Amino acid sequence: MPTTSAPTHRPRLTLGRLELWPPVVLAPMAGVTNVAFRSLCRRHGGGLYVSEMVGARGLLEGDARSRLKAAFGPDETPRSIQLYGTDPADTAAAVRLLVAPEADSARAPVDHIDLNFGCPAPKVTRHGGGAALPWHTDLYADIVAMAVAAAGEVPVTVKLRLGIDDAHLTYLEAGRIAEDLGVAAVALHARTAEDRYGPPAAWEHIGHLVDALTVPVLGNGDIWEAADALRMQAETGCAGVVVGRGCLGRPWLFRDLAAAFDGRPIPPAPRLGEVADLLVEHAGLLADHLGTTTGLRELRKHTGWYLQGFPVGKPLRRALHQVSTLDELRHLLSDLDRDLAFDESIRRQPRGHTTRPKRVILPMGWLATRSHGTSRSPDGAVVSGG
């Protein structure tokens, strides 16, 4: 059983057969939480590091991109994957594929499966997926039930948002359904799909879900530094926290979180030299995972996040977006003032998505009924309700 040590005065986070310390989860982030980024973050602290979202249908069809997203490092444990699907049978089949022992270490077995019901992206919600799906409670229940049954002893969790918008909240009902169907925990991003990433996360809803459920509830939204995680736990009673944008360009946030939950002093922020070394290390990991050309192209989104808070100048930032080799990257960073301190005044400045509220794109007639017209037969198969 993958376990990390915990002080006796704080309980470990228990997800089925997994026991984790600290109670910290890396949020799945598309195009970010691949093998390379997870490896870098894991080096800074324990917890659970979830893959980027993988589509069930693509995985079943052997799509190369889906298989790459579902890959794990050779020493990665626990192996945690986030699965997306809108069809119960596809989702269950993908779960069976992921939990089955396979010679191909890029696919299976996994130690934990998280079901995505929280994505607000139009390309997902327009098909009735992500944060839109729990509105149709029968379809949502079918997906969760069949995934849990297919997973066997592997713990399954669900990731939710508050709902589609303020007039169509779903999280309490969806949380209760998931608990009744045997999930190990429920994670809640305390914004609606319409909110995207704009307004502050409404943590009070995390507390409402904690009061409504007996399984662990994990809180997500606006964890920018370690103190935020402790405050979220104190204010909501959540069993653990899910960290997303706060760790972009800051993998050492997991070091800070481990110290905070252990009751140790938070280490000082790294100076520019250490950050530059992390940037090079990240580039090398991406090159190993994706190949040098693709890996360095993927690095571009990360360079701005790493250098946020350091006055390195626009010419260097532009040049870093053009590098084609690791040696070129090292050369560009070699002249930096390695002792330059981080600008603490922007510590809480958002990274990554900063989109303002937008109307959620849904399938035609999606909100007209709560039913999707499916139900489970006695053998677990989904049958049409007409």
Alpha carbon distances (Å) from 85 to 56, 95, 101, 224, 310:
5, 11, 22, 30, 41
First to last CA, the chain: 45
Cβ neighbors of 7 (< 8 A, separation 6 or more) are: 262, 263
Structure tokens at 361: 């794109």
Strands 18-20 and 13-15 turn out to be antiparallel
Residue 247 catalytic?
A: no
CB 366 within 8 A of CB 320: no
CB 217 within 8 A of CB 188: yes
Neighbour-count burial for 73-100, b at 16+ CB within 10 Å, e otherwise: beebebbbbbbbbbbbbbbbbbbbbbbe
Q: Is the dihedral of CA 16, 20, 26, 32 positive or negative?
A: negative
Peptide bond into 74 cis (omega under 30): no
Task: Indicate the DSSP class of residue 284.
Answer: H
Q: Taking every pair of C-alpha atoms in the chain, what is the biggest distance, in angstroms? A: 68
φ, ψ (nearest 5 deg) of residue 274:
-65, -40
Neighbour-count burial for 341-371, b at 16+ CB within 10 Å, e otherwise: ebeeeeeeeebbeeeebeebbbeeebbeeee
Cross-strand pairs, 26: 49, 243
Alpha helices by DSSP H, the chain: 35-42, 56-60, 64-69, 88-99, 122-125, 137-151, 171-180, 204-212, 226-236, 253-262, 272-290, 292-307, 314-320, 326-333
Structure tokens at 329: 């990257």
Residues with a known catalytic role: 119
